Amino acid sequence: MTGGSFRREQLTKKVALYFLLVTAALVFLIPYIWTVSSSLKPEQDIFSKDMSLLPSSFEWQNYVDAWTDWPLGTWLKTSIIVAVIETFSVVFTAVLAGYAFARLRFWGRDTLFLMYLGAMMIPIQVTIIPSFVIITRLNLVDTYMGIASIRLVQFFGVFLIRQFFMNLPAELEDAARIDGCNRIRILVQIFIPLSGPALTALSIFAFTAAWNDFLWPLVAVTRPEVYTVQIGLATMKGEVIRWGPMLAATALSALPVLIMYLALQRYFTQGITMTGLKG
């Protein structure tokens, strides 16, 4: 094969790959684009036959009504507080457990880690009743901590950080121990600074999971003033559905996660790439 033919073949493959990626991206983005577009339309145009993505007139009042007619700000505040609590707890516990599973040698380590992996396969529906009994006895119903309690530790986070720590050179730890560093200093001063991308990826996963959770907050919350945004959006549906304000509230509810992902996208991609599947 000549050099020119080889380059043409590579160019053709690259064009085909980019075409498939753009097509897939559009397929996934169309529902979000439709939601934002419809949130700016008059009520009668949302489900019109032409299904135009561009509004005939921009109905900004939908956003004003969504904010003033429902306690959307309170719902967003609850979701942010719960998501921050869960994210901090997930990252903290994943760092400690991941370091132990990756670098420490103790009896039953591998068996315990296999139990962690097995726990990842248990659906949340199985644990809802015992979890609700626990938070009821601890008087945590209708509290931020009660909502966050079921996701304070995520087994996937432990697995992700363990894989990242196992990929770090053992020479770094050996050199630190020769210099007199104990396990805590090695973790805090060497492993954590080097694991920024992995911790960022885990933070995005944990925050998104907490933000989108619907089933557990539905069980753990009874007072409207403690609703998360997902529960709040569900209560906006009544006998008469005001689609414009509800779609506006839906678009606003996606902003925190979108902003977080866009701000940390580079670190997120790097963290997933560097973590690998070693071990």
Is residue 190 pLDDT above 80, yes or no? yes
**Alpha carbon distances (Å) from 33 to 25, 251, 253:** 12, 10, 14
- In this prediction, residue 185 carries a pLDDT of 87
- In this prediction, residue 278 carries a pLDDT of 43
Average pLDDT for 150-156: 88
How many other C-beta atoms lie within 10 A of the C-beta of residue 220?
A: 27
Residue that is written with structure tokens 């104990």 in the block? 182
Q: How far is it, in rounded angstroms, from Cα 89 to Cα 92?
A: 5
pLDDT band at 67 (very low <50, low <70, confident <90, very high): very high
Average pLDDT for 57-73: 89
The two three-digit tokens of residue 235, written as one number: 């209560």
Q: Are 122 and 60 in contact (CB under 8 A)?
A: no
pLDDT band at 197 (very low <50, low <70, confident <90, very high): confident
Q: What is the average pLDDT value for the chain, to the nearest integer?
A: 85
Average pLDDT for 10-27: 86
Q: Residue 256: which of 193, 197, 212 has the closest Cα?
A: 212
pLDDT band at 26 (very low <50, low <70, confident <90, very high): confident
Q: According to DSSP H, which parts of the chain are helical?
A: 3-39, 61-69, 72-103, 109-119, 124-137, 144-148, 155-167, 170-178, 183-186, 192-194, 196-212, 215-220, 229-235, 243-253, 255-275
Digit-coded pLDDT (tens) for 229-257: 999 999 988 777 888 889 999 999 998 88
Q: How far is it, in rounded angstroms, from Cα 5 to Cα 28?
A: 35
- In this prediction, residue 275 carries a pLDDT of 52
